[in-house]
Structure 1
Amino acid sequence: MNIFPVRRKLLSFLTSLSTLWLLLGVGCQYVPPHVFWPAGFIAMSTPGALLMNGVLLLLWLWLWHRPVWALWPALLIFLFWGQHTRYFNFSSSEASLASEEEQITILSYNVRVFNVYQHLHEADPGLPEREMKWVAEHPAEILCLQEFYNEKGDKTYDSRKRVGKQQGREIYVGKALTNSAGAEFGLAIFSKFPIVKKGTVSFDRPTKNQVIFVDVKLPSKDTLRVYNMHLESMAIEEKDVEAAVQSEAGLKTKGRNIARRLKGGFIARSHQVNKLLDHIQESRHPVLLCGDLNDLPSSYTYQQLRRHLKNGFEEGGNGFGFTYNGKLPIRIDNQFFSDRLELLQFDVLDQIRFTDHFPIESTYVLNASSAESEE
C-alpha cells in the first residue's frame, strides 16, 4: 500500500489548520480584549501556530524531494517574519559616529521592592544590599525602576538617597502606596540629566499599576521624554501553572483560576495601553518607553505599542531575550522608542539574578538630523 497519499492528505490538513490558526492569532492582536476578551487568548497562542508552521515546513521538505509542497509554509514564514523576530532575533551592535557625550544609556529593571520582605531574602540575607549597591552604582544616565521601594533613613533601603542623591541623579517617584511607616512603593525614574517636566499617565480606573514620565534636557539641549510603565499584572503564580499542567485535577482547580486572571489582565491592559498611547502621541519630544509590560509579544498591548514605536529587542536583541527570571520562558519587560532615536546596543542582563526579572540595558543616540529645535 502506498502511504504517501495518506501522508500528503494529513500534512495538507495540518497545513490548512496551522494557516487558519496563524491568521486568527495575528488578527486577534488587533482586537481590544475589552471589546472581545477571547481575542486575548487566541493572540497569546500565536507562538504555537508559528512553531507548527515551521515543523510542517521541515516535514514537507523531508518527506518529499519536490520542495514545491513546502512553498506555502515557507511563504507564511516570509510574510509573518515580524512575528518570529518578536521571540527570537539576531542583531549586531550598530557602529555610530556619535561621541560618548551624545550617547544615552538606559537601564530598565523591576527591582521587586529591593527584596525588602523577609521571605524574599530569607535564604540570602545579603541579597537586598547587593541589589541596591548594583543598581546605585550602575553607570546608566537614566534608570527606570518598577516595583520601587524607598524607606527614608534606612541604611539599606534609602533608595532615593543611595541611587539618587549620592550618585548625582535627579529623581521622580510615582507613589502607588505609602505604608504606615512612611515607606514608598511605586515607580521611579532617576536621571543624570536635568528633569524639566514630570507627571503621571492617568488610567481613570482604580489600580496600583501606573505609568510615569519625565522630560530630560540632554547635553545637546534637546529634550527627551522618558516613560516608565508597570501595566496590570498577570497575577499568576508559577506553582499554579505547574499544578495545572501536571494533572487533570490541577487543570480543573487551577486552570479555571488562571484563565480568569488572564482574562482580567487582558482587559485591563487593553484600556491602559490605549490611554498610554494617547499620552505619547501628544508629546512633541522623542519618546523612550521602558518597563514591565506584563504581556507577551503576541498581545494586543504589545501590538499597539509596536504600531507606533520601535521595540528594542526586535531592533537590537539576540537570542530569545527572555526577561522573566523563572521557569516560564517569557519576555514581558521591554523598551520601545520613537524614530528620532537610534538604537546602538540592546542587552538583557540575564546574569543579574537579584529578582524575578532581568534588567534591560540599552544605548541610544538622538539623531542630529531629526533633533527638534528648542524654543
Structure 2
Amino acid sequence: MLRKILSFFTALATAWLLLGVLCQYVPPHVFWPAGFVAMSLPGALLLNLLLLFLWLWKKPLWALWPLGLIILFWGQHNRYFALSGSSEVPQETTEQLVNVLSYNVRVFNSYKHLHKDDPDLPEREMKWVAEHPADILCLQEFYHYKGEAPYNSRKRIGKDQGRQVFVDNFLVNRVGAEFGLAIFSRFPIVNKGRVKFDRPTKNQVIFVDVRMPNKDTLRVYNMHLESMAIEEKEVGEAVESKIALETKGRSIARRLKGGFVARSHQVRKLLEHIEASPYPVLLCGDLNDLPSSYTYQTLRSQLENAFEEGGNGFGFTYNGKLPIRIDNQFYSPELELLSFEVLDQIKFSDHFPLQATYVLEQD
C-alpha cells in the first residue's frame, strides 16, 4: 500500500516538476496560468527531494528516479539554495575590480509610519548607504529631498563621497521631493538613459555607462520591475479563515496575474536593450519575481546570476516573514564574480542589500 502511495506521488512530482520548468519559458502575457505553475515549482522540488529519502528508506533502488531528477534539474535547486563559496578578493591587483551594492532603500524610511518606533532609523540608513565603500550603488525606491538635510541623498551619497549620480524619477511631489531609481558611481559616467516600456507604469529600468580606469566601459542597469502588490498581512489573513481565503485569495490571485503579465512585457524590453549593449553588462535591482519565474529565466538565459555563482544558503532578500529571493545581480560572461553576499544583518528596509565584487576582464 505504501509503495503504491509513493509511486503515485513520484509520478505527481515528476509531472509537476516538468510542467513547472516548461512554464518558465512561457510568457504570461501569452498564457497567464503559466505564471502560477512556474511559481509553484519550489513545491515540486521539495516533494521530489522528500520522495528521495522515502524511497531510500522503503526501496533504495527506486530512489534512483528522484535522484536522477535532482541531478537533471540541479540548476533549479541552485536558484533557491547555493553553496558556491566566493573567491577571496585580492588586496592588491592590477585587474579592474568593481565593487557593487544594490539595495531597495524603501524611500530611506522617510514616511513617519516607517520610523515612528525608531526616529533615528532614516538617518542611520542614509549614513550606512553613504559610507558604504562600493564603487557603484544601485538604489531602488530612491528618495531625495534637498529641502531637508537628512534626506539630501544626492549630496550625501553622491558629491560628499566622490560619486557621480544619475537619478530618474517617476514622481516629484508638491514640495520637490524625488522618488525613483538612482545609480551612484565613483567611475565617470559617460552615458545614461532609461529602458522604455510599451505600457505606462511607475516601475523603471535605468542604465549608465561608466568608464573604468583601464579605459574599458561597463554598462550598469538598475531595475525595479512591476510589484507583486501583496502585503504580508494579506497572506496571513487569507490563511486564517475560509472566508478570508475566498475573498482575499481571489484579490491576491488577480494582482499576481497582473504582475506576471506586466513583468513579462517589461523583461522582454529589458532583454532587447541588454542584447543591443556594446559593453559588458551588470544588472542589479528588485526583480519582484521568484527564481522559477519567466522573468528570471529570460534574464538567466543571457546572463549569469551572482547568487547562483557565489551565494551561500537560501539567500532570501525580503526582510519579512515571506522567505523569498526577489532582489538580484546578473552579469555578462566578460565579468568574473569574486564575492557575493546578501547582507541580512542590515535591516533598515524591507529588503536586504546585496554586495558583490567583480573583475572586468581586459580585452
TM-score per shorter chain, which class?
over 0.9
Residue in 2 that maps onto 1:77: 70
Counterpart in 1 of 2:22?
A: 27
Give the Å deviation of 1:95: 4.4
Aligned to 1:3: none
User: Aligned equivalents of 1:312 and 1:29: distance in 2?
Assistant: 20
Alignment TM-score, normalising by the size of structure 1 = 0.95
State the distance in 2 between where 1:349 and 1:113 align: 18
C-alpha separation between the residues in 2 aligned to 1:27 and 1:349? 32
Report the secondary structure of 1:131's partner residue. helix
Does the 8 Å CA contact 2:95/2:359 hold for their aligned counterparts? no
For 2:200, the aligned partner's letter is P
Residue 100 of structure 1: how far off its partner (Å): 7.1
8 A contact 2:96–2:361 mirrored in 1 = no
Alignment of 1:157 with 2:151, yes or no, is yes
What is the aligned counterpart of 1:185 among 179, 192, 198? 179
In structure 2, C-alpha distance between the alignment counterparts of 1:118 and 1:39, rounded to whole Å:
40
Greater Cα shift, 87-96 or 34-43: 87-96
Structure 2 counterpart of 1:232, from 221, 226, 231: 226
Q: 2:13 aligns with which of 11, 18, 34?
A: 18
Distance 1:292 1:90 in 2: 23
Superposed CA deviations along residues 217-260 of structure 1, whole A, max 9, x for unmatched, are 00111000000000000010101000111211110111000000
Instruction: Check the 8 A contact 2:172/2:179 in 1, yes or no.
Output: yes
Aligned to 2:195: 201
Aligned: 1:214 with 2:208: yes
Please tell me whether residue 358 in structure 1 is matched to residue 352 in structure 2: yes
Q: Which ranges of structure 2 fall in alignment gaps of 5 or more residues? A: none
SS class of match (2:274): helix
TM-score, normalisation: structure 2: 0.98
Distance 2:222 2:341 in 1: 18
Deviation at 1:153, TM superposition (A): 3.4
What number of residue pairs does the alignment pair up? 362
Q: Aligned to 1:196, what secondary structure does the other structure show?
A: strand
Structure 2 CA distance, aligned partners of 1:120 and 1:290?
25
Mapped to 2, the partners of 1:249 and 1:38 lie a distance apart of: 24
Q: In 2, are the aligned partners of 1:169 and 1:193 still within 8 Å (CA)? A: yes
Find 1:290's aligned residue among 271, 274, 284: 284
3-state DSSP class of the match of 1:48? helix
Superimposed CA distance per residue, residues 139-192 of structure 1 (whole angstroms, 9 cap, x where no aligned partner): 000000000000013210000000001001000001111001011100000000
1:41 to 24, 33, 36: 36
Cα distance in 2 between the residues matched to 1:253 and 1:289? 38
Give the whole-Å Cα distance in 2 for the aligned partners of 1:296 and 1:100. Answer: 37
Structure 2 residue aligned with 1:275: 269
More contact order relative to length (CA 8 Å, sep ≥ 6): 2
User: Offset of 1:367 from its aligned partner?
Assistant: 1.5
**TM superposition shift of 1:193:** 0.2
**Residue 101 (structure 1) shift:** 6.7
Partner of 1:62: 57
Q: Distance in 1 between matches of 2:165 and 2:86?
A: 30
**3-state SS of the aligned residue for 1:156?**
helix
Kept in 2, the 8 Å contact 1:101–1:219? The answer is no
Residue 149 of structure 2 aligns to a residue whose secondary structure is: coil
Matched residue, 2:83: 90
Shift of 1:56: 0.5
Q: Which runs of 5+ in 1 are unaligned?
A: 1-5
Judge conservation of contact 1:244–1:254 (CA < 8 Å) in 2.
Answer: yes
Q: Percent identity?
A: 72
Q: Whole-Å Cα distance in 1 between the matches of residues 4 and 155 of structure 2? A: 68
Which residue in 1 is equivalent to 2:327?
A: 333
Separation of aligned partners in 2, 1:10 and 1:93:
42
Query: In the alignment, residue 79 of structure 1 is paired with which amino acid?
Result: L
Give the letter aligned to residue 78 of structure 2.
T
Q: Deviations over 1:61-110 (max 9, x none)?
A: 0123xx21111100000000000000001022224667177211000000
Question: d(CA) in 1 for partners of 2:193 and 2:281?
Answer: 14
1:50 to 30, 45, 50: 45
**Paired residues of 2:163 and 2:187 also in contact (CA < 8 A):** yes
- Root-mean-square deviation (Å): 1.0
- 4+ residue runs of structure 1 moved beyond 3 angstroms? 95-98
